[in-house]
Amino acid sequence: MLITLLPQRKQIEIGGRRRVADLLRHLGLLPGTVMVIRGDALVTDDEVIENDDTIEIRNVISGGS
């Protein structure tokens, strides 16, 4: 799978199929701090990313008022 980390614009390629939660753990990312996007859709922690998928992982940014 091809992964793009944003806003760093870093690309990583990882082989195999994995659940999103396992992928984030492998990358050292906490699930509540990022959004995983495949195409135009958000992907939940229990969904499986296939070997040939391309995904984006974006940092969640919260703002104060």
Local structure of 27: helix, strand or coil: helix
> Can you tell me the distance from the alpha carbon of 39 to that of 37, in angstroms, rounded to the nearest whole number?
6
For the chain, what are the domain ranges?
2-59
Task: Check pLDDT > 80 for residue 23.
Answer: yes
- Tell me the pTM: 0.87
pLDDT digits (tens, 9 = 90+) for 35-52: 999 999 999 999 999 999
Question: What is the predicted pLDDT for the residue at 37?
Answer: 98
CATH of domain 2-59: 3.10.20.30
Q: How confident is the model at residue 61 (pLDDT cuts 50, 70, 90)?
A: confident
Task: Check pLDDT > 80 for residue 20.
Answer: yes
